[in-house]
């Protein structure tokens, strides 16, 4: 038993290292694609797709400057906290037909809590830097974080509630269970419309979670000279860049797991390792398409919002859309 337990722990550790490495690499790669596509949509050439990798290695060899007024251990620890928490979420996300490395009762609730840690890390780092620009940026980040939590939780609760009505014996707040039972096959016409509204809600939350235009008020280069990250450089700034890349994969993967968990191997009549490869590649295509819709297209189509506009957008229209989606799913269940 001891040998089996040690072997299981060793497998988990190796799996976590592999997932962390792939999450960072794919995140940086997709970040490069996002920048290239956004540039093309704006009639620009844009940087090469490998640019995020080049930026990371360049920052890693530059001097890591800690401001004189900063709290050093907090200032240096915040980027590590943001990156580690982002990578931890990856361990709970299924990839194609590969189950998550970690799962358990209510892990979707844990994921929601973990999603706040990178934002908290960047807020703490901003306050610890001693810069007035970073201070304003940190305050904006806190306001935005409090604003998008409600619609995010509404979307997750609606999916879990519907699953509990159909399969009361299941652990309905496990992401693996939700991933195995797509919402689209559990609802009627009203619920289908409600599910679409919930997807729209999550799509609106994603750029806020990632602090992308139009919800990038905490950084706002033209107003705050970089805002919350203005004092960061070298290794610390590189780690924040990695955390942003990994969180992009996290948010897009979460959308896929909640709304588009389908595989393609059965359509191609594949089995074994070929089915595994096909499903993983299909998963990568899905998160790319989700990234394009939720991140690239939105930040090209809209201008930056002021922080009061961001707060209003999440508390009123986005929350209303989420609650309407929840009500339609409830009505669909009652009518059926």
Whole-angstrom distance, CA of residue 207 vs CA of residue 322 = 16
What pLDDT band is residue 298 in, cutting at 50, 70 and 90? very high
From CA 242, how far away is CA 143, in angstroms rounded? Answer: 23
Q: Does the pLDDT of residue 3 top 60, yes or no?
A: no
Task: Determine which of 2-11, 15-24, 127-136 has the lowest per-residue pLDDT on average.
Answer: 2-11
Domains: count for the chain: 1
Q: Is the pLDDT of residue 122 over 60?
A: yes
For 170, the domain range is 2-335
Per the rule left: phi > 0, alpha: psi between -120 and 50, beta: everything else, 226 is: left
- What is the spatial distance between Cα 212 and Cα 81, in angstroms, rounded to a whole number? 20
Whole-angstrom distance, CA of residue 215 vs CA of residue 141: 10
pTM above 0.85, yes or no: yes
Evaluate the CA torsion angle 20, 159, 192, 200 in order and state its sign. Answer: negative
| The pLDDT of residue 169 | 82
180: pLDDT strictly greater than 60 = yes
Q: Which of 39-48, 196-205, 221-230, 319-328 has the lowest mean pLDDT?
A: 221-230
**What is the H or E stretch that residue 329 is in?**
helix 319-335
Query: Across all residues in the chain, what is the average pLDDT?
Result: 90
pLDDT score for 330: 92
Q: Which two tokens mark 110?
A: 């844990």
- The backbone region for 212, taken as left when phi is positive above 0, alpha when psi lies in -120 to 50, beta otherwise, is beta
For 225-274, how does the pLDDT look when each residue is reduced to its tens digit (9 = 90+)? 667 888 899 899 999 999 999 999 999 999 999 999 999 988 888 888 88
d(CA 105, CA 108): 8
- Strand-pairing partners, residue 98, are 95
Inform me whether the pLDDT recorded for 293 exceeds 80.
yes
- In sequence order, the 6+-apart residues with CB closer than 8 A to the CB of 302 are 213, 214
- Measure the CA–CA gap between 207 and 214, rounded to whole angstroms: 8
So what's the pLDDT on residue 217? 81
In 3D space, the residue among 196, 320, 176 whose CA is nearest the CA of residue 253 turns out to be 176
Exposed/middle/buried for residue 49 (C-beta within 10 Å: 0-12, 13-18, 19+): middle
């Amino acid at each position: 038993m001891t040998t089996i337990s040690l072997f299981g722990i060793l497998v988990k550790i190796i799996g976590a290292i592999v997932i962390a490495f792939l999450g960072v690499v794919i995140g940086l790669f997709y970040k490069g694609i996002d920048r290239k596509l956004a540039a093309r949509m704006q009639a620009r050439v844009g940087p090469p797709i490998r640019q995020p990798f080049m930026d990371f290695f360049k920052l890693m060899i530059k001097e890591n400057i800690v401001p004189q007024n900063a709290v050093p251990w907090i200032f240096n620890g915040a980027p590590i906290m943001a990156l580690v928490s982002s990578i931890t979420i990856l361990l709970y996300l299924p990839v194609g037909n590969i189950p998550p490395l970690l799962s358990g009762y209510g892990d979707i609730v844990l994921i929601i809590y973990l999603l706040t840690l990178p934002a908290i890390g960047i807020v703490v780092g901003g306050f610890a830097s001693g810069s007035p620009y970073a201070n304003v940026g940190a305050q904006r980040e806190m306001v935005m974080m409090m604003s998008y939590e409600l619609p995010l939780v509404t979307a997750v609760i609606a999916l879990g509630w519907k699953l509990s009505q159909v399969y009361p014996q299941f652990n309905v707040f496990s992401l693996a269970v939700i991933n195995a039972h797509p919402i689209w096959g559990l609802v009627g016409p009203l619920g289908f419309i409600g599910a679409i509204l919930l997807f729209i809600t999550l799509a609106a939350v994603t750029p806020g979670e990632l602090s992308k235009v139009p919800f990038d008020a905490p950084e706002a280069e033209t107003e705050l000279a970089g805002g919350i990250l203005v004092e960061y450089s070298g290794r610390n700034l590189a780690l924040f860049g990695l955390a942003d890349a990994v969180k992009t994969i996290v948010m897009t993967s979460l959308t896929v797991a909640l709304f588009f968990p389908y595989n393609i191997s059965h359509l191609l009549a594949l089995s074994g390792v070929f089915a595994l490869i096909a499903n993983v590649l299909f998963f990568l295509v899905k998160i790319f398409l989700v990234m394009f819709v939720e991140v690239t297209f939105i930040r090209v189509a809209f201008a930056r919002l002021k922080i009061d506009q961001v707060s209003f957008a999440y508390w009123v229209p986005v929350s209303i859309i989420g609650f309407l989606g929840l009500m339609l799913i409830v009505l669909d269940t009652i009518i059926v």
